[in-house]
Amino acid sequence: MTGALGRTWIVAAALASGILLRPPALVGTGALLFLVRRMPAATVAALVFSGLALGGAAAHHHEARPGVLAATAAGVPVCDVDGVLREHLGGLGSLVSVRRAECGVVVLEGGTVATPVLQAHPGAPIRARGRLLPLEDDSFDTARRRLGAEAAFAPAAVEAKMPTSPLAAVAARIRTGLRRATSSLGASQAALLRGLTIGDTRDLPAADDEYLRRAGLSHLVAVSGSNVAIVLGALTAAARRVRAAARLALAAGGLALFVLVVGPEPSVLRAAVMGGAGLVALIVGTRAVPLHVLGLAVVVVLALRPALLFSAGLQLSVAATAGIVLWAPRIAARLALPPPVAVALGVTVAAQVAVVPVLVLTFGRVPVAGLPANLLAVPAVAPATVLGFVAALLGALDPRLAAFPARMAGPLAGWIIGVGRHFGAPEWATVGLPPGFGWAAAAALAAAAIRTLRTPPAVG
């Protein structure tokens, strides 16, 4: 088990190093894991350089390279574009696959453009008129290029239709059902409930979004592993009276539908791979080792989407999950509290500590109010999320059926908003820290992780 765990993380680290194309980091990571796990040098070398090759090849394959659209965009023409909305990229906008672009000349199957966030469902046919622009060399456009965009498109007018493919149409209908079901709630409650359920925070008031971030609660509306666990748990609990094979099939179908509705968010992909691996382990009758499964999830996600290595969402998701796996049980075991309280506190502390380096190095600030805010807000998350999904599914059939679960979830969403406002408003809610603190925290946490892996958990 230990050898398999080490091999998985060597491949994950090498894959990341290959995407970064920094051989010194690759060698250092391989040497560190070699010392930790004492593997034969030949095995380490083979895993390291295989991961390097895979990471480099995947990054090269996914990153857009100059082509017809890039050459056309250099003239900043006005274009009529027909395409399909591929996916939303959060703050980076949306990706549209271009089927036909008329910019004085006609470009067929030209590639992919990045646009501002479009109010449409993934898979939707798009017709737009606007300016085609070259991507710059700044970090914003570099991130778009890594995700496959060849040029930028600034639309002046957009016409979007409902998706035509059956799966995309089902997902769009469920999203629309949730929006209709929450229409009778207050603006903040409705937006937060949609965020908890499917990660849609487009309508969340800017002030509440800032309060949640400062209170360390923004992860609640960035759909992640906890949402996947809630969905799978609710499905298996609802089907507890049916045979095991039927429960697994229902869980697998629910997981696939969840990913389809939410979209390929970094933390969702990571959690979906972990959930899928756990289901496979149940089918074959073995126990999934969480840290091993997390490593496999990192390998799969980076192989499929190399640019997500640079995503703060994936970094926070992996760090929080690793912290929970490594330290939450040990923290809970040391607390003289009722088990449910001890477990909740252990999970919260472990996750909050584990993400400190990412928060400091990415945002330069750490929410010091995160611990009490999460302890108060998290108990409302699971019931609100389950009610949100029920409302979304019923809303896809009939909005009248969805009104009741949405109204039940409203006060829960309101409670979370209230906690965010209370803890996010004070000046002391966040503390600014220099990058050096982030690197020091990362080194300390890495040393603590190695020590934890070498120390068996206390029994009894």
Cα–Cα distance for residue pair 395/11, rounded to 1 Å: 43
- Asked whether residue 26 carries a pLDDT value surpassing 50, the answer given is no
Q: How far apart are CA 174 and CA 288, in angstroms?
A: 32
Read off the amino acid at residue 52: L
Q: What is the mean pLDDT of residues 279-308?
A: 76
Q: Between 36 and 74, whose confidence is greater? A: 74
Spatial neighbors of 19 by CB under 8 A, at least 6 apart, are: 55, 56, 58, 59, 302, 306, 309
For residue 341, the model assigns a pLDDT of: 79
Note the CATH number of domain 68-164.
Answer: 2.40.50
User: Mean pLDDT across the stretch 178-199?
Assistant: 87
Cα dihedral sign for 360, 87, 218, 152? positive
How do beta strands 151-160 and 106-115 pair? Answer: parallel
Per residue, what are the HEC states of 312-380?
A: HHHHHHHHHHHHHHHHHHHHHHHCCCCHHHHHHHHHHHHHHHHCHHHHHHHHCEEECCHHHHHHHHHHH
Sketch the domain layout of the chain as residue ranges.
2-62, 68-164, 171-454
Mean per-residue pLDDT over the chain, rounded: 79
What digits encode the pLDDT tens for the residues 106-153?
777 668 888 888 888 888 888 888 888 888 888 788 888 887 888 888
Residue 210 has pLDDT above 80, yes or no: yes
DSSP summary character for residue 159: E
Q: Please report the pLDDT score of residue 271 as a whole number.
A: 75
Residue 61 token pair: 């394959």
CA distance linking residue 179 with residue 183, whole number of Å = 6
- The SS3 assignment for 203 reads coil
More reliable by pLDDT, 90 or 256: 256
pLDDT value at 39 more than 60: no
Does residue 293 have a pLDDT over 60?
Answer: yes
In the chain, the N- to C-terminal Cα span, in Å, equals: 23
pLDDT band at 78 (very low <50, low <70, confident <90, very high): confident
Distance CA 370, CA 118 (A): 32
Residue 58 has pLDDT above 70, yes or no: no
**Residue entry with tokens 């030949």:** 42
Whose CA is closest to 233, among 294, 194, 275?
275
Instruction: Tell the burial category of 339 from Cβ atoms under 10 Å away from its Cβ (0-12, 13-18, 19+).
Output: exposed
**Average confidence (pLDDT) over 62-67:** 61
Cβ-proximal residues to 448 (8 Å cutoff; 6+ apart), any chain? 326, 327
CA distance 409 to 440: 42
DSSP string of 5-62?
HHHHHHHHHHHHHHHHT-HHHHHHHHHHHHHHH---HHHHHHHHHHHHHHHHHHHHHH
What confidence score (pLDDT) does residue 378 get?
A: 83
In sign, the C-alpha dihedral spanning 245, 249, 252, 255 is negative
- Residues 297 and 322: their CA atoms lie apart, in Å, by 12
Hey, is 300 helix, strand or coil?
helix
Position 176 scores a pLDDT of 87
Region 291-304: what's the mean pLDDT?
82
pLDDT at 38 over 80: no
Q: What is the pLDDT of residues 309-350, one digit of tens each?
A: 877 777 888 888 888 888 888 888 888 878 877 888 888 888
Task: Give the number of other CB atoms < 10 A from CB of residue 395.
Answer: 26
Contacts of 445 (CB under 8 A, 6+ apart): 323, 353, 354, 356, 357
pLDDT score of 282 more than 70: no
**Which segment of 14-18, 86-90, 171-175, 360-364 scores lowest on mean pLDDT?**
14-18
**pLDDT above 80 (res 280):** no
Distance CA 339, CA 346 (A): 10
Residue 54 near residue 18, CB atoms below 8 Å: yes
DSSP-derived letter for residue 426 is S
Tokens for 33, please give them. Answer: 């894991």
Closest residue by Cα to residue 183 from 419, 400, 414, 421: 400
Assess whether pLDDT exceeds 60 at residue 290: yes
